[in-house]
Amino acid sequence: MATSVFGALRVPDVVYRYYERRLARSLTKAQLPGHIGVVLDGNRRWAKQTGASTAYGHQVGAEKIHEFLHWVAEFNIPVVTLYMLSTQNLNRDKAELEPLIRIIAQTLRQLGSGLNDGTQLKVHPVGDQRILPEALADLLNETADSTRHNTGLHVNVAIGYGGREEIVDAAKSFLTDTSELGYTLDQAIETLDVDAISDRLYTRGQPDPDLVIRTSGEQRLSGFLMWQSAYSEFYFCEALWPAFRRVDFIRALRDYATRNRRYGS
């Protein structure tokens, strides 16, 4: 591999910058997704591979979120959902979970302040806050309240999230609502349809994700937006989340742009 220097960049860096610009220029607004979901996977494996602590892997992964949101804003993609902490993650050892919770809390504070280029973020919690530590649940609500009227990028933070649990919660909400209206069970069953569930999801009122990206090479959803992703396009990237690059993101967008979306027709 060439190691000569061109300006302040090594030749491979120059090539990648050119490749990135070429890919980015090939995309038109009409080809871009309106909502991207991302499974931020690979922090622990990245830490192991680099000889770092697990907590440091989570910290670098958190810092990547801010970098990634700059890329999303750059392409004027209006909505992104970040899978940050699943219901299953809450079962991890205390020695890993407690630092992870602190890192997530710090990330939320930073998201509440927007990006460092002045871009405002509208932060929306997605998950079951009842199973979270009280301080983290309070911070989620405070961040959502303080950014509610922001007009910039809409960021769903999936924290304490499980796709099955979301659907169950939606079904319980439907049954509660129909009971309060005095419906019999037969009447409730008669009115139950797709919209009745969709209108009670954590993402109600939002468009479903057009594209779901998962890093780390794993090819599964792990319960992420199971209902909403029925007609999403999926992109599985080998890069671990802390090592995910702008060129990897642009490749995902380019791949999405080549898909023929038929929505089951």
CB 104 within 8 A of CB 86: no
Does residue 6 sit in helix, strand or coil? strand
The one catalytic residue in 13, 76, 89, 199 is 89
Tell which phi-psi region holds residue 62, choosing left (phi > 0), alpha (psi between -120 and 50) or beta: alpha
Per DSSP, the three-state class of 194 is helix
* Residue 143 neighbours by CB distance under 10 Å: 23
Which residue among 41, 128, 208, 210 is the active-site one?
A: 41
C-alpha distances (whole Å) from 74 to each of 32, 71, 170 are: 12, 5, 34
DSSP 81: E
| 246-257 helix and 11-25 helix, angle to the nearest 10 degrees | 30
In the residue annotation, 89 being an active-site residue is answered as yes
Cβ proximity of 94 and 133 under 8 Å? no
Does the annotation count 156 as an active-site position? no
Characterize 27-42 residue by residue with b for buried, 16 or more Cβ atoms within 10 angstroms of its Cβ, and e for exposed: eeeeebbebbbbbbbb
Within 8 A by CB and 6+ apart from 127, the residues are 85, 87, 158, 159, 160, 161, 162, 202
| Residues classed as catalytic | 41, 89
